[in-house]
Amino acid sequence: MLLSIFRVFGVSTLDVVRASKFISEVDPTIDPSTRVTVVGGHSGNTIVPLLSQVPNFVDALSKEQLDALTNRIQFGGDEVVKAKDGAGSATLSMAYAGARFALTLLEATVNGQRGSVESTYVNLEADARLKAFQTKTGLDYFALDVEFGSEGVESILELPTVSAYEEGLLQVAIKELKDNISKGVSFATESA
C-alpha cells in the first residue's frame, strides 16, 4: 500500500520545546509551555524560530539579545553535548519532544481533539496551497505547523507573516536545507 504524502511527516518538536524554554528564561513572565512556532529544518541555521509570533516579546529585545536567543535555539543541542563532554546528546529532551508529539497526534486521531498543532516536516507537495512556497524556495520538504485530525495531518498551516529579521534567517535556512534534503534523499535511495 502506498502512503499518501499527506500522511508522511517528521518530528521537529524538540526545536519548539527548546524555543519555549529559552524564551521563558529571557522573560520569566512567559509560561515555559507557551508554544513557539519553529519552521525550516532541524540542524543549526535551518532552525528558524518565529519569535515575532510571541505577543509583546521581540519588541522588548535588543538586536544583540535577539541574535543570542536565536543562536541558542538553533544550536541548543550543542550545549547539551558540551555539558556531557561529548559523551552523549539530549536524549531526555528528545524523548520528551517525541512523547509530546505522539500524545498530540494520539489526542487528535484517537480522541478526536480538534486544534492539535505541532511543528513537523512535511512534503510541500502534500498541499496545493504550498505550491507557491515550494516553487519560490525550491524545497520539497520544510518544517511547518500542522493541525492533526482523525486521519493524521488534517491541515498544513501556511508560513505566517515573518519579520525582516526572520526573513533573513529563512534565506540562510533554505540554502542549507537544499543540501540537507539532497543528502537525505540520496541516503534513503541508497538504503532502500
Active site (catalytic) residues:
42
Q: What DSSP string runs through 103-152?
A: HHHHHHHTT--S-EEEEEEEEGGG-GGGHHHHHHH--SEEEEEEEEETTE
CA distance linking residue 166 with residue 17, whole number of Å: 19
Q: What's the CA gap between 75 and 34, in Å, rounded? A: 20
Closest by CA to 41, choosing from 144, 132, 129, is: 144
* Grid cell for residue 85: 563532554
Per-residue cell: 90: 539530549
Distance between CA 85 and CA 25 in Å, rounded? Answer: 24
Q: Is 153 helix (H, G, I), strand (E, B) or coil?
A: strand
CA distance to 39, 52, 144, 146, 153, per residue, from 10 (Å): 12, 24, 10, 11, 11
CA-CA distance, 115 to 113, in Å (whole number)? Answer: 7
